[in-house]
Structure 1
Amino acid sequence: MSGNRKILIGTNEEANAVRNKLIEFNSRHVPNGYYEEIHLCVKDDEGEMMAGLNSTICWNWMEIDILWVDDNHRGQGLGKRLLEEAEQMARAKHCTFIKLNTFSFQAPEFYKKYGYEEMAMIEDAPMGYRHYYFKKNLM
């Protein structure tokens, strides 16, 4: 073994390789594993993105990584439509729950309104704010 190992900043390609190696490892321990990225977006007639949702399905759940609505289009129901579409897709893929996280300056009340329950909260993450973790059972 060499004592000359360096830690480097990885590329996106290397990050994907790490993700795939972990998926491969997990699959050896949990048979019938499933992993799929699902990304949704709402565009206007000119093709400009108004809102989007990035998520991943792992085994029996969906994890929503990002739900974003452009400031000029908030309050028009786009976030609700994306969330409902993601929930329908999760059910169709036999997910039993959805999990996500959000900050106090983002949308904790929005998620509560649509049936997401707070599982955990971290104070001062970032400083002066709260970081919430939510879950919604689909079954």
Structure 2
Amino acid sequence: MTRVALEDQAVPATRDAVWEGLRAFNEAQSGPGSFASTPLNVVLRDESGAPVGGLIGRSYSGWLYVELFHLPEAQRRAGLGREMLSMAEREAAARGCIGVRLETYSFQAPGFYARMGYTVVGRLDDCPPGHTRFSLAKRLDGAPLEAP
């Protein structure tokens, strides 16, 4: 018997089952392998080699999706963010990605991404209340981001 259950625990097997079903459906529409996912990490390490920040993402469907990007306050405004994002963009292009997409909040780094050539493609006001969540994208292949 099929049933619906509300669960508040992150169970890898559940996520995998949902992802595999969705991936199979998507690839039936867009072609085999079009949703194959490959991790891409640019890691900032301290003198001992411990990670202290970085960019965590994955390439799939012809785009790099930046899931997480953090630099410690003491490391900001020294060019490291630009270096790390540029490194991820170069690797994405080498993987055949046509662009990069990511999300940021109004209290995070929308100005940084604008200086890096990213365009706001969506926004959600009051997420969290009093702030805005932006979806941004940048084409790496020279094509316009939006159709004329």
TM-score (ref. length: structure 1): 0.88
Residue 95 of structure 1: CA displacement? 1.0
Superposed counterparts of 1:38-49, under 5 Å: 38-49=40-51
1:20 matches 2:33: no
Q: Which moved more, 1:125-134 or 1:70-79?
A: 70-79
Q: Which residue of 1 aligns with 2:11?
A: 11
Structure 1 residues 5, 107: closer, same or farther in 2, change over 3 A?
closer
Q: Which runs of 5+ in 1 are unaligned?
A: none
Give the letter for the 2:56 counterpart: N
Distance 1:101 1:29 in 2: 26
Q: Which runs of 5+ in 2 are unaligned?
A: 142-148
Structure 1 residues 71, 35: closer, same or farther in 2, change over 3 A?
same
Aligned length: 138
Distance 1:13 1:91 in 2: 32
Superposed counterparts of 1:38-117, under 5 Å: 38-117=40-119
1:31 matches 2:53: no
TM-score (ref. length: structure 2): 0.83
Distance 1:53 1:107 in 2: 14
What SS class does the counterpart of residue 110 from structure 1 fall into? helix
Distance 2:105 2:38 in 1: 25
Residues 64 and 98, structure 1, Cα contact 8 Å, conserved in 2: yes
Give the letter for the 1:76 counterpart: A
Residue 73 of structure 1: CA displacement? 1.5
What SS class does the counterpart of residue 45 from structure 1 fall into? coil
For the aligned residues, what is the CA RMSD? 1.7
Give the letter for the 2:53 counterpart: A
Structure 1 residues 4, 90: closer, same or farther in 2, change over 3 A?
closer
